[in-house]
């Protein structure tokens, strides 16, 4: 059995059982991939892939398990390489962050700036997606850390660290009747067309839950994943915007008025997630600490130790 074979298997599974595109992705020849997979299946003594004649049509039951194990092996091989990088090229490498739009746009800039100053030789990638995509990317090892609200703890092999709590505000054009009508309630809010986050995005489901538990039906006329989009439509007079506190900037958004509604909704917690079995580079600990100061290197290791089987 060769590592190459496991790598090939993985990539074929990734590429929807298309050997040709797997070969392309691996920068090698297609017959080579085909051959190694045959050799692997011969050595193991069973088929990983179901075939209809020559086409791959599916994955066998044992194949599923083998692919899952192969993915773990490849991940640990990556970890081994990282150990090398960590100890030789101190503080150079890549940090891939998966996060939602809200975090990327309003919370991360300050953190990223501090990070880039502290680790100028680390290349940064930011992947954007909804919370479950964020979690999935981290779980698969496509991202080193994920930052999102809710959902992220669904995956068994992720360690979730609470970073900070936040709440919501309402934005309206200046002179809007809501501004004149005393303290805001869910009922008053529901009287106006509402523009807010997609459910399934940053704290979206918590909002709908709060409304429904209060027996109030909000009139959501438009949803977006993007606070800037929401503000744009509010500016056009299409409705009242409900978004994260941190997404309102008094200077930049001077054409809108803001009303805090923390008293109407429970706080949402933003979590940072890492794979329990990942080898964390020094600068990754650094990033985590910038994001959630109480989680220094020691605290993260402690959390990893408690949570998982990971016996690094």
Partner DNA sequence: CAACGTTACGCTCTTCGTAAAGATG
Partner DNA sequence: CATCTTTACGAAGAGCGTAACGTTG
Instruction: Report the interface residues with a second copy, using CB under 8 A.
Output: 1-3, 6, 44-46, 61-62, 65-66, 68-70, 72-73, 76-77, 79-81, 83-89, 156-157, 276-277, 279, 305, 307-312
Piece of the chain touching DNA by CB under 7 A; list 36-44, 68-76, 179-187, 225-233? 36-44
56 scored as a contact of DNA (CB under 7 A): yes
Tokens for 306, please give them.
Answer: 């408690």
Buried b / exposed e along 45-76 (16+ C-beta atoms within 10 A): eeebbeeeeeebeebbeebeebbeebbeebbe
**Residue 310 interacting entry, from DNA, a second copy, none, C-beta within 5 to 8 Å by type:** a second copy
Tokens for 258, please give them.
Answer: 């803001």
Q: How far is CA 22 from CA 14, 52, 241, 303, in A?
A: 8, 19, 45, 37
The CA distance from 1 to 43, in Å, is: 7
Q: Which of 6, 9, 13, 34 binds DNA (CB under 7 A)?
A: 34
31 scored as a contact of DNA (CB under 7 A): yes
Q: Which of 55, 81, 113, 123 binds DNA (CB under 7 A)?
A: 55
8 Å CB contact between 152 and 136: no
Residue 246 DSSP symbol:
G
Q: Which of 45, 52, 174, 294 binds DNA (CB under 7 A)?
A: 52
Q: Which of 6, 9, 13, 19 binds DNA (CB under 7 A)?
A: 19
Taking the complex as a whole, how short is the minimal distance between the CB of residue 282 and a second copy, in angstroms? 12
123 scored as a contact of DNA (CB under 7 A): no
**Residue 232 interacting entry, from a second copy, DNA, none, C-beta within 5 to 8 Å by type:** none
Taking the complex as a whole, how short is the minimal distance between the CB of residue 183 and a second copy, in angstroms? 46
Taking the complex as a whole, how short is the minimal distance between the CB of residue 24 and DNA, in angstroms? 10
Looking at the DSSP assignment, which residues form a beta bridge with residue 222?
195
The CA distance from 235 to 144, in Å, is: 37
80 scored as a contact of DNA (CB under 7 A): no
Cα distance from N-terminal residue to C-terminal residue, the chain: 25
Taking the complex as a whole, how short is the minimal distance between the CB of residue 230 and a second copy, in angstroms? 37
* Choice between 30 and 245, CB closer to DNA: 30
Using DSSP's 3-state secondary structure scheme, residue 178 falls into: helix
């Amino acid at each position: 059995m060769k590592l190459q074979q496991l790598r090939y298997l993985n990539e074929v599974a990734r590429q929807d059982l298309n050997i040709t595109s797997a070969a392309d992705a691996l920068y090698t020849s297609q017959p080579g991939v085909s051959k190694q997979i045959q050799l692997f299946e011969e050595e193991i003594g069973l088929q990983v892939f179901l075939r209809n004649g020559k086409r791959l049509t599916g994955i066998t039951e044992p194949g599923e398990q083998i692919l899952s194990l192969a993915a773990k092996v490849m991940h640990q091989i990556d970890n081994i390489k990282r150990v090398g990088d960590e100890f030789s090229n101190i503080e150079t490498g890549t940090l891939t962050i998966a996060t939602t739009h809200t975090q990327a746009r309003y919370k991360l800039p300050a953190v990223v700036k501090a990070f880039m100053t502290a680790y100028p030789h680390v290349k940064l990638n930011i992947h954007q997606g909804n919370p479950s995509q964020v979690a999935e990317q981290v779980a698969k090892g496509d991202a080193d850390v994920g930052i999102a609200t809710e959902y992220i703890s669904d995956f068994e092999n992720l360690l979730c660290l609470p970073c900070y709590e936040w709440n919501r505000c309402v934005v309206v054009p200046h002179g809007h009747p809501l501004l004149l009508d005393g303290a805001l309630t869910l009922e008053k809010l529901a009287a106006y067309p509402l523009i807010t986050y997609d459910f399934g995005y940053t704290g979206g489901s918590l909002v709908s839950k709060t409304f429904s538990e209060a027996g109030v039906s909000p009139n959501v006329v438009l949803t977006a994943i993007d606070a800037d989009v929401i503000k744009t439509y509010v500016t056009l007079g299409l409705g009242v915007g409900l978004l994260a506190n941190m997404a309102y900037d008094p200077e930049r958004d001077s054409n809108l008025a803001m009303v805090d509604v923390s008293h109407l909704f429970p706080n949402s917690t933003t979590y940072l997630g890492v794979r329990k079995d990942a080898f964390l580079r020094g600068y990754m600990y650094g990033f985590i600490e910038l994001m959630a100061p109480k989680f220094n290197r020691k605290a993260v290791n402690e959390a990893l130790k408690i949570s998982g089987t990971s016996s690094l």
